[in-house]
Chain A
Amino acid sequence: MPETSKPTVGLFVTCLVDLMRPVVGFAAVKLLEDAGCKVEVPASQTCCGQPAYNSGDKADTLDIAKNVIAAFEGYDYVVAPSGSCAGMIKDHYPEAFADVPKWLARAENLSAKTYELMSFLTDVMSVSATNAEFSGTVTYHDSCSGLRELGIKDQPRALLSSVQGLKISEGNETETCCGFGGLFCVKYPDISEKMVDAKVDDIVKTGADTVLAGDLGCLMNIAGRLQRRGVDVKARHAAEVLAGMTAAPAIGEPVEGE
């Protein structure tokens, strides 16, 4: 594809990926470029504002959202490797600016071109396969916002099924919340523990050696509980597998030999 006709994607990498797991960002860049996009990563991005929004801090939510809008509205598309952050921009920005006419149109404009990574690849760029390889059995956790706000269910599975050597073993409770819920998991640790235990039990039943998902928040929660319980199942963002970037240790795992 000639450079000029390539769509330009602003990668909203998400604060968690930026701080905790850069490989997901690199995987997203690779997948988007392989799909024929020109990718840019605005340095002025911080967070989508969800922690403030879900804590009832509306004023800070709007301020943070204005930063995001200003940083990303110039791109053809905005893509995030997270259903939760993409859902925030797509669903909740227009809702949050409903009473701010000056910003509402800009929020709606951004909303219309914002996508979660895997659904963008399949639904917009018509990617149906990747050339990655991964030997192992995985199970997929549907994160709540991606599933229920953005309708992401089949897209990651379609892409993953094209990965050579990868086998998917579905859980019975893939659509049940893992108990992360942002600040919920630290405010109500007992309930969160109960929920993530149910998730871990369901993952164990699948016999998979790796759990994949599209949201790092859920994955850190699930990985942390798997490790605390001593369960030998690894956790990775699905983009790592799709991009063939699985040389780095799984979430929370040490570098081999250390």
Chain B
Amino acid sequence: MQPTSPNFKQNAREAIADDPLQAALAKLAVGFPMRRLEAAQRLPEFEDLRDQARDIKNHVLENLDQYLEAYEKKVTDSGGHVHWCRDAKEARETILDICRKAGAKTVTKSKSMISEEIAVNAYLEENGIEPVETDLGEYIIQLRKEPPSHIIAPAIHLSKEQVADTFRNAHIDLAADRDLDEPRSLLEEARAKLREKFLGADVGLTGANMLIAETGTNVLVTNEGNADLTNNLPRVHVVIASIEKIVPTLEDASTILRVLARSATGQDISVYTTFCTGPRRPEDLDGPEEYHVVLLDNGRSEMIGSEFHEMLRCIRCGACLNHCPIYKSVGGHAYGWVYSGPMGAVLIPNLIGMEEAQHLPNASTLCGKCESVCPMRIPLPKMLRKWRERQYKAEMGSATARWALKSWAWLAKRPALYRRVMNAGVALLGQFGGQGRFKSLPLASGWTSKRDLAAPAGDTFISQHHKGARGDQSGALMRKKVH
């Protein structure tokens, strides 16, 4: 998709003015964090598990080449095929090629952020193949031609009324006056529509929450069971996953599963957790005839060893979004690409370039809430700062802001001069600050457009202190001097 990240400020303004979106975000901001906290408190070893999960992924990233090769061998041994793809284009073409060989007309899909990343839906459509999203949220946004606004709750930005309108516009074969007031009726309509698609699909395309090197297995985590119908019913199952999804063993996968759902939705475990290994074996009752894994790099190998290395531990649980005050203010679409929230602000510049995504690492107060809830203990604020360093080096951003910062820093490095300038500045502001604050002030409109600005309450502390002041009622005393 064409990123709208360069318009982040405008996107954010529109999002803040969007009432249904704000209502949805307000609900999310309470529900998810509360459930995560309760789930974490129910499990005494939760904090230890976070350490273990982090260590597992660190170990994998140190030895990624070895684990990828071991994984490929296991997939091949179980009768599957691994396709290595350097970038989105290669991955799209590989998937199309598999679909064509299978004579596919319809491809059912279960939720995959990587498939969003490579924009495979549009590509399949252009080539005469119908992709059908089967996760309810994804199905809704596919009908609306929107990207997901949240990793695990892609249609979280919509109200049930908006979903009802979407269904009325899309399902024109059904009675126009049907009752779609209740979520239940929406669900039943989507289920009936999707059932036809599940049964008719030639290829099932899924993502993978993890790839297990020990067994050549892909793990799928859902709450709707749609992934199971996607990977079992069609003749061909294609898994699309990026290379950092590898974990060494089933035991490791189980450790990560224990933090994944708890961090994401506050569930102890998701409703469905599916392990797929190769195509159907003779003794199996069902399963696909062909099993393909499209292993995508798309910028990951360049992140290894860089200051963004630790981002590759991310398991896409969405906890950082759910707890982020910026995400809660503007929602996912404002970020302008596939990912959003703190993880998106770190990852997106790696994938679409620092220039396009330059707002994202800056649009953060670095409050640290994301890192405090990340199950993989990814130091997100630190990496946002790393992007800012790169941008500063590349002389990006407003020239005026850089000049102001430079001037201030120049002064801050010269304490004697700094003191003289600040004393004079404070005295000057004090002349005009008799009401205690400013409603507006030249050069400070970024501040005063939204809030009053307190005036300096007297001479600087250091000058007063060095004159021997002890500060009793200092504010009142100093004000008198000014007038």
Contacts and interface: CB of A to CB of B under 8 A. Distances in A.
B408 A51 contact: yes
Contacts of B419: 43
Nearest to B372: A148
B393 A56 contact: yes
B474 A179 contact: no
A45 B461 contact: no
A22 B475 CA distance: 8
A157 to B, nearest CB: 19
Interface residues of B, number: 78
Interface in A1-46: 13, 15, 17-27, 29-30, 41, 43-46
A57 B434 CA distance: 36
Contacts of A43: 415, 419, 462, 466
Nearest to B409: A60
Contact of A46 (B415, B425, B476): B415
A228 B452 contact: yes
Given A20-B456, A29-B465, A43-B462, A192 B366 contact: no
Contacts of B465: 22, 25-26, 29, 41
Given A57-B405, A224-B452, A254-B434, A18 B471 contact: no
B79 interface: no
B461 A56 contact: no
A142 to B, nearest CB: 11
B122 to A, nearest CB: 30
A166 to B, nearest CB: 20
A192 B364 CA distance: 10
A149 B452 CA distance: 29
A140 to B, nearest CB: 17
B363 interface: yes
Given A19-B456, A22-B458, A149-B368, A184 B464 contact: no
Interface in B346-388: 362-369, 371-372, 382, 385, 387-388
Interface stretch (A106-114, A127-135, A193-201): A193-201
A175 B396 CA distance: 33
B474 A26 contact: yes
Nearest to B22: A194
B60 interface: no
B418 interface: yes
A20 B412 CA distance: 16
A181 B462 contact: no
B362 A60 contact: no
B422 A21 contact: no
A186 B391 CA distance: 18
Interface stretch (B181-189, B228-236, B288-296, B323-331): B323-331
Query: What's the dominant secondary structure at chain A's contact region?
Result: helix
Contact of A20 (B413, B454, B480): B454
B315 interface: no
B471 A21 contact: no
Contacts of A95: 382
Contacts of B478: 22
B473 interface: yes
B388 A45 contact: no
Interface residues of A, number: 78
Contacts of B364: 181, 184
Most buried by B among A184, A188, A192: A188
A177 to B, nearest CB: 4
Interface stretch (B131-139, B271-279, B443-451): B443-451
A245 interface: yes
A26 B469 contact: yes
Contact of A18 (B9, B330, B436, B462): B462
A93 to B, nearest CB: 14
Interface string A93-107: 001000000000000
B72 interface: no
B110 to A, nearest CB: 33
Given A43-B419, A191-B330, A144 B12 contact: no
Contacts of A44: 415-416
Contacts of A183: 401
B153 interface: no
A182 B384 CA distance: 15
A252 interface: yes
B82 interface: no
Given A181-B367, A187-B446, A255 B479 contact: yes
B392 interface: yes
A245 B471 CA distance: 8
B453 interface: yes
B390 interface: yes
A30 B169 CA distance: 70
A56 B389 contact: yes
Contact of A247 (B369, B462, B476): B476
B171 interface: no
A153 interface: no
B415 A18 contact: no
A222 to B, nearest CB: 9
B452 A184 contact: no
Given A64-B412, A224-B437, 20 more contacts: A41-B461, A41-B462, A43-B419, A43-B462, A43-B466, A46-B411, A54-B388, A177-B369, A185-B446, A186-B444, A187-B363, A189-B449, A190-B13, A191-B326, A193-B450, A225-B450, A254-B434, A255-B436, A255-B476, A255-B479
10 contacts: A19-B425, A21-B475, A22-B465, A29-B465, A44-B415, A54-B366, A181-B366, A185-B450, A223-B452, A249-B475
Interface of B: 9, 12-13, 16, 325-326, 329-330, 362-369, 371-372, 382, 385, 387-393, 401, 405-406, 408-409, 411-413, 415-416, 418-419, 422, 425-426, 434-437, 444, 446-447, 449-462, 464-466, 469-476, 478-480, 483
Question: What 9 A-B pairs are tightest by C-beta distance, nearest first?
Answer: A26-B471, A181-B365, A248-B475, A186-B446, A224-B451, A56-B388, A56-B392, A25-B461, A252-B454
